[in-house]
Every structure is written in C-alpha cells, then in structure tokens.
Amino acid sequence: MKTTLYGIPNCDTVKKARTWLAAHGIDAGFHDFKKHGLDHAVVAAWLQQLGWEVLVNRKGTTWRKLPDERKAAVTDGDAALALMLENPSVIKRPVLDRDGSFSVGFSDAQYAELFK
C-alpha cells in the first residue's frame, strides 16, 4: 500500500502526523507542496472525494490575509481548486493519501482508525 503525506514541513500538525507514522513503522512518502507544488489532477481528486469545504482552511492565516473579494469568490469546487493551486498554504494540513483514499488533518485517534 502506497502512503503519501502532503503538507509543509514546518506545520506543527504535519510534524505530529509524520512522527506518528514513523513511530508506527508506516513507510510514508512526504510531498512538500510549497517546495514541489501541486498537480491539478491531485487536488481535483482530493476535491472529488473530500469536498472543498473540508480542504480549504478558512481559519488559517493565509485565508484571513486574502482580500474579501477573493474569499467571496470561493463558492464551489472549481473556485477552490484555483485558489489551492495558487496558494497551497490555504489547504488544511496534512492531506494523507493511502492508495487513493484521502483524509485531512491529524489526530492520534484518526490515524489509529485509518491504519488499523
């Protein structure tokens, strides 16, 4: 089973997820989406499975710094996709890909359930 964790290395939640995966012996690749960017098809797959409301972090600094007009324009998956490709920091982190099954965020209980 192929597992990839998407995020940015200095995010505390991403750090916790990476630590949990390592502690449980799970070999997961890491994709730094600030450094390596994001592919349209990857983000579209996330959106199809999870929905834009889950993926766009409207509590984060990046979202709060956006102009009100830009925030107001994010009303559907297409607008969210454009925003996430433009500003990957607006994506709630981390995104975990386990063979095409996606989850967002991290908690011990969430990962214990995913990897049981």
53-64: per-residue pLDDT in tens? 999 999 999 999
Catalytic residue among 4, 6, 8, 11: 11
111's CB contacts (< 8 A; 6+ apart) are 17, 20, 21, 24, 96
Expressed as residue numbers, the domain containing 13 is 3-114
Cα–Cα distances (Å) from 53 to 9, 48, 62, 81, 116, in that order, read: 23, 11, 15, 11, 27
Would the pLDDT of 103 be above 90? yes
Q: What is the CATH number of the domain that holds 76?
A: 3.40.30.10
pLDDT band at 1 (very low <50, low <70, confident <90, very high): confident
pLDDT at 114: 94
pLDDT at 70: 96
Q: What is the mean pLDDT of residues 84-108?
A: 96
73 is catalytic: no
The number of domains in the chain is 1
